[in-house]
Amino acid sequence: MRCALIFLLLTVTSLVKGHTPRDPKIRFDGFYQAKADKHENDSDHHYLRFYASGRVISVTSDGTPDDLKTWFNLSKDDIPSGSYKVTAKKIYFFNCE
């Protein structure tokens, strides 16, 4: 469910920025942010950070992107991570924890 939500966010974000499903682009210089489910705390957001190596990390936090800058990276051992693959129309996540 969480990965599906993020996929939808990335699709919408890409379309808004002028990328089409035939021209998928993922940025590696920041985070992707989505509002958490209605049943969760209103201030919570889901964050994803992609790396060119094929790794992806995720976290749910009530912090802002500025708050995450110092610790939301691959060097932290306790951040859920996995890998991803981009195809013409989809992003596939593997070992998403």
Looking at the DSSP assignment, which residues form a beta bridge with residue 33? 47
Closest to 82 in 3D by CA, of 68, 96, 64, 63? 96
What are the sequence ranges of the domains in the chain?
Answer: 2-94
- How are the residues of the chain apportioned to helix, strand and coil, as percentages rounded to the nearest 5? 20, 30, 55
**Share of residues in the chain with pLDDT > 70 (%):** 68
List all residues 6 or more positions away from 22 whose beta carbon is below 8 Å from its beta carbon: 88
The pLDDT score that the predictor gives to residue 37 is 72
Predicted TM-score (pTM) of the model is 0.69
Confidence of residue 87 (pLDDT cuts 50, 70, 90): confident
With H, G, I as helix, E, B as strand and everything else as coil, classify residue 14.
Answer: helix
Beta strands (DSSP E) in the chain are 32-35, 45-50, 55-61, 81-86, 91-94
pLDDT tens digits for range 20-45 = 445 557 889 888 988 877 665 577 88
Mean pLDDT confidence for 5-19:
47
